[in-house]
């Protein structure tokens, strides 16, 4: 055992200040999550209940095994856009009859559950997680289809929802649709493309065109029930495999379908994993409010891995990046964690070598990000910082083990790429409320714009307007600062959610348990020494 020795002084004033700042941000996070939970607000929630219907989250709760966890994904989707926080759909991973499944539940209290561009992105992300991790996908359907005023953003790309469903099926990943209400037009292809379909009697309405459209198109007079009711589909068209008496019955049938999928269930853990030796609560007091102040990521590692047991790789070489081996809830992992923000050539080479070793031993990688990017300057360019960074980015891109990324603090520049940012396709990516991400820091970005503007004015022979420059800098800094914040980035689906640092071990444990059975062969050459 190699136990991390913590140097965190929990009686120091900095610790108290960092903790207070993190708790304040968590308060803001709770307010934003509450907006997603509130759905369309009291008026629409009450109307929905008065119709005798369950809310999206209630449906999920009844579907899942009692007292099992639900890892909600992208709850802040659409934050900062014209659409309600949550994007009118609830997605996540939960356990049904002992089988981990991806759930996608429309929220009919938000604009009739209609899909806006963010709903689409969120649902596509959920389907991607199902495919990559081979998890059955269960759709809880009740939606007005495309959000009509936004149709230009979703009609054409939205076809992927149905394509993904059938590709999941082709890949042997089961798809299940429980239809609680409206599922019209394109939405009809959700049950249409699913392996297993349940419809709720007198509630499900599944047709390509509703009565008004049929009247306009063909002149035919038809009512909802004869055109696309659950009873008709169960008895006549055959689109429904099961006719549920009510919503509870549909959820019960859904559970029975999963029970009969004959999916391999994870066996009991060989031995209970030892918890970290240090208190997870102390994760609140590690990240400084000012991200320019460095912090030791070993303090984080010590509070998330089993027994705080961490074997560091190359501890004396490239010390701005900490690399090493640990276990988390019994799952072996390799960790890459930024220590002092900047990545130099040594850190890049160390990362590339470490990632290759993880590939050889089939060990999933966890990236703990707090980086301002690769080092710039004449000395570093001459030393080949681009080549060295490229090695690290190459290793991350082509590594065949699963990756999970946690953005703890800064995530700027190409450091975001080398440390497995969203574009590098980690299986999961979560942010802490202290995260910040942009092409560079706001002050640096405004400074670059100012220098470029000054040079351009000089080239034109004009006098540079210093007053306008100061105003521009201030405006750009404020804009980039706002766009670097975790709620904004989560709203755009650049992560899978903003989490409480204290939940990091639990969230990583859930993710590792669902990616566990997706092995792949290591690629290419043997390990290059760097």
The distance of closest approach from Cβ of residue 117 to ligand COA in the complex, given in angstroms and rounded to an integer, is 12
Calculate the CA dihedral of residues 438, 118, 368, 364 and round it to 10 degrees: -140
Residue from 186, 324, 373, 509 in contact with ligand COA (CB under 6 A): 186
- DSSP class of residue 246 equals S
Stretch that binds ligand COA, among 9-17, 30-38, 178-186, 462-470 (CB under 6 A): 178-186
Chain residues 209-248 in contact with ligand COA, contact rule CB under 6 A: 210
The distance of closest approach from Cβ of residue 148 to ligand COA in the complex, given in angstroms and rounded to an integer, is 4
From the list 112, 113, 40, 116, the residue with the least C-alpha distance to 78 is 116
DSSP letter for each residue of 281-328: GGGGGTS-SSTTS---THHHHTTTSGGGB-EEESTTSSTTEEEEEEEE
* Contact by Cβ (8 Å): 217, 209: yes
Query: Would you say 230 or 339 has its CB closer to ligand COA?
Result: 230
The distance of closest approach from Cβ of residue 127 to ligand COA in the complex, given in angstroms and rounded to an integer, is 19
Residue that is written with structure tokens 């089939």 in the block: 362
Q: Which residue is nearest to ligand COA (CB)?
A: 145
Residue that is written with structure tokens 């964690």 in the block: 337
Q: Is 158 in the site for ligand COA (CB under 6 A)?
A: no
* Residue 248 phi, psi dihedral angles, 5° rounding: -60, -40
User: What secondary structure, in 3-state letters, does 492-507 show?
Assistant: CCCCCCECCHHHHHHH
Count of CB atoms within 10 A of residue 61's CB?
15
Report the SS3 class of residue 528: coil
Query: Would you say 114 or 258 has its CB closer to ligand COA?
Result: 114
Give 314's contacts (C-beta < 8 A, 6+ positions apart): 323, 350, 353, 354
Query: Would you say 182 or 369 has its CB closer to ligand COA?
Result: 182
Report the SS3 class of residue 343: strand
Query: Would you say 112 or 334 has its CB closer to ligand COA?
Result: 112
Relative orientation angle of helices 56-63 and 247-259, to the nearest 10 degrees: 40
Query: Would you say 206 or 512 has its CB closer to ligand COA?
Result: 206
Query: Would you say 110 or 173 has its CB closer to ligand COA?
Result: 110
Query: Would you say 224 or 296 has its CB closer to ligand COA?
Result: 224
The distance of closest approach from Cβ of residue 61 to ligand COA in the complex, given in angstroms and rounded to an integer, is 22
The distance of closest approach from Cβ of residue 212 to ligand COA in the complex, given in angstroms and rounded to an integer, is 8
Residue that is written with structure tokens 């008004």 in the block: 212
Q: Give the contact letters, 111-150, x = binds to ligand COA (CB under 6 A), - = no.
A: xx-x-----------------------------xxxxx--
Q: Give the contact letters, 92-111, x = binds to ligand COA (CB under 6 A), - = no.
A: -------------------x
Q: How many residues bind ligand COA (CB under 6 A)?
A: 13
DSSP letter for each residue of 115-161: B-HHHHHHHHHHHHHHHHHT--EEEEEEE-SB-GGGHHHHTTTTHHH
Residue 348: burial class (beta carbons within 10 Å; 0-12, 13-18, 19+): buried
Query: Would you say 43 or 292 has its CB closer to ligand COA?
Result: 43
The distance of closest approach from Cβ of residue 111 to ligand COA in the complex, given in angstroms and rounded to an integer, is 4
Residue from 175, 182, 371, 416 in contact with ligand COA (CB under 6 A): 182
Give 205's contacts (C-beta < 8 A, 6+ positions apart): 181, 182, 183, 184, 224, 227, 228, 229
Query: Would you say 188 or 305 has its CB closer to ligand COA?
Result: 188
Q: Is 192 in the site for ligand COA (CB under 6 A)?
A: no
Binding site for ligand COA (CB under 6 A): 111-112, 114, 144-148, 182, 184-186, 210
């Amino acid at each position: 055992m190699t136990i991390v020795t913590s140097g965190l002084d929990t009686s120091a004033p900095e610790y108290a200040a960092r903790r207070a700042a993190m708790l304040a941000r968590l308060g803001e996070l709770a307010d934003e999550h509450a907006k997603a939970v509130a759905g369309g607000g009291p008026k629409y929630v009450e109307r929905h209940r008065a119709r005798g219907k369950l809310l999206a989250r209630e449906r999920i709760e009844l579907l899942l095994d009692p007292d099992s966890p639900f890892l909600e994904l992208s709850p802040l989707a659409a934050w900062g856009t014209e659409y309600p926080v949550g994007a009118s759909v609830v997605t996540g991973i939960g356990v049904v009859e002992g089988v981990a499944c991806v759930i996608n539940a429309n929220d009919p209290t938000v604009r009739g559950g209609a899909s806006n561009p963010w709903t689409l992105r969120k649902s596509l992300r959920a389907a991607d997680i199902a495919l990559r991790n081979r998890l059955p996908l269960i759709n809880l359907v009740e939606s007005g289809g495309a959000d009509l005023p936004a149709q230009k953003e979703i009609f054409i790309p939205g076809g992927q929802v149905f394509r993904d469903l059938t590709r999941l099926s082709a890949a042997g990943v089961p798809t299940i649709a429980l239809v609680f209400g409206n599922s019209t037009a394109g939405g009809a292809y959700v049950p249409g493309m699913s392996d297993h379909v349940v419809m709720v009697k007198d509630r499900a309405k599944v047709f390509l065109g509703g009565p008004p459209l049929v009247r306009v198109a063909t002149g035919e007079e038809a009512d909802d029930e004869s055109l696309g009711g659950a009873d008709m589909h169960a008895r006549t068209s055959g689109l429904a495999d099961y006719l549920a008496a009510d919503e509870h019955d549909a959820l019960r049938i859904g559970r029975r379908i999963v029970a009969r999928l004959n999916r391999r269930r994870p066996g009991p853990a060989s031995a209970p994993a030892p918890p970290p030796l240090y208190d997870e609560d102390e994760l609140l007091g590690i990240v400084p409010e000012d991200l320019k102040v460095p912090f030791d990521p070993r303090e984080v590692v010590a509070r998330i891995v089993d027994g705080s047991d961490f074997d560091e790789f190359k501890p004396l070489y490239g010390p701005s990046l900490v690399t090493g081996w640990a276990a988390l809830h019994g799952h072996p992992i390799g960790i890459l964690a930024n220590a002092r923000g900047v990545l130099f050539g040594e850190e890049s080479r160390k990362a590339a070598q470490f990632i290759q070793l993880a590939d050889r031993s089939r060990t999933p990688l966890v990236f703990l990000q707090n980086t301002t990017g690769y080092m710039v300057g004449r000395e570093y360019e001459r030393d080949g910082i681009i080549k060295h960074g490229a090695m690290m980015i190459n290793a991350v891109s082509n590594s065949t083990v699963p990756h999970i990324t946690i953005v703890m603090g800064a995530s700027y520049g190409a450091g975001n790429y080398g440390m497995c940012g969203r574009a590098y396709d980690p299986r999961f990516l979560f942010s802490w409320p202290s995260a910040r991400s942009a092409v560079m820091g706001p002050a640096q970005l405004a400074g670059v714009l100012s220098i470029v503007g000054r040079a351009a004015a000089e080239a034109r022979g004009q006098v540079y307007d210093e007053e306008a420059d100061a105003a521009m800098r201030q405006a750009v800094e404020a804009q980039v600062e706002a766009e670097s914040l975790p709620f904004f980035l989560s709203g755009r689906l650049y992560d899978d959610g903003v989490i409480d640092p204290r939940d990091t071990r639990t969230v990583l444990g859930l993710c590792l348990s669902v990616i566990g059975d997706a092995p792949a062969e290591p690629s290419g050459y043997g390990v290059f020494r760097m």
